[in-house]
Structure 1
Amino acid sequence: MNSLMKRNGFAPMRSSFFDDFLMRDLFGRDNWTSEDSTLPKVNIVETNEEFRVEMAAPGMKKEDFHIELDNDMLTIHSEMSSENFDEDSTFTRKEFSYQSFKRSFYLPNTVEADKIKARYRDGILNLEIPKKEEAKRKPVKTISIS
């Protein structure tokens, strides 16, 4: 489904074939950013034990993120504003900066939603989403022939 979408008056976003085909159970469709910023890119890694979401967001602080879980929808969003002042004896200049984004992900029912962990380090927001025991791949079992 490579369709254009428009959210809350923001610029259209195009979903990729990879997002649609491979990540359809985990990758959400509610993603937007303000005009003056870029949508942070994510890596979604699946291991036998968990899903890991790695979001590149350099220059931010952990307090800038808001992470919410509503049923099976995990949402990461941020709204930041900053003011820079350059003052001399006759002139004051203000420069304002506003940035916001929102990324949402549908979680499969095979995860332990109450055990999600998040940390922010070196410009990367990491979320660890553990799988339920029944969703973990079992080792190969050899069956003997009698």
Structure 2
Amino acid sequence: MKTLEKTSQSPTARVIEEFWNKDGFLDESMKMEPSINIIDRNGVYKIKVSAPGFKKKDFKVAVEDGSLIISAEKSIEKKEEKENFVRKEFSAFSFSRSFRLPENITLGHIKSNYKNGLLNITISKTNLDKREVKEIKIR
């Protein structure tokens, strides 16, 4: 048998309170985290980031301290003016994801493009059989 939690607020009051407390402009939902697929195929890693609504210039892809860092930031300003009424809204969307890179990649061969809401990053693997070995002389 289900038990219902008793509350002193009317249903209408709860809806109004939830609207103001959980409004999309005020809560954590603006910190979106896009879906990411990582594919290991034919000597490359392919990373696909689903991030519709962004533009190519909104993204930053970098390698830092052995990690691939993918981030994007977008802000929108909307202003509406009518007689005796002015409203201005700002919204900002951002995310940042980082992934530890394996040792078998070539930093000089990382490519990316953004098309139709999908950021594609291709990272070439090194040939593990032909890894360069360098002897360091001791002085």
Q: What is the TM-score with the length of structure 2 in the denominator? A: 0.69
- From the superposition, tell whether residues 135 and 42 of structure 1 become closer, same or farther in structure 2 (CA, over 3 Å): farther
Post-superposition Cα deviations, 1:66-118, rounded to whole Å, max 9, x if no partner, equal 11111310101122221111122322211110122110011101011121001
1:22 is aligned to none
* 2:54 matched residue in structure 1: 60
Deviations 1:23-76 (A, max 9, x none): xxxxxxxxxxx9223201100000022000000000100111111111310101
Q: How far, CA to CA, are the matches of 1:80 and 1:123 in structure 2?
A: 14
What is the CA–CA distance in structure 1 between the aligned matches of 2:66 and 2:42, rounded to whole Å?
Answer: 20
2:83 to 86, 89, 97: 89
Output the amino acid matched with 1:119: N
Where do 5+ consecutive residues of structure 2 fail to align? Answer: 1-26, 131-139
The equivalent residue for 1:115 is 109
What letter is aligned with 2:42?
Answer: N
TM-score by length of 1: 0.65
**Count of residues in Structure 1 that have an aligned counterpart in Structure 2:** 103
Matches within 5 A, 1:1-146: 35=28, 36-134=30-128
RMSD of aligned residue pairs (Cα, Å): 1.8
Q: 1:87 and 1:135 mapped to 2: Cα distance?
A: 66
Q: Which has the higher helix share?
A: 2
Q: Which amino acid aligns with 1:90?
A: N
5+ long unaligned stretches in structure 1: 1-33, 137-146
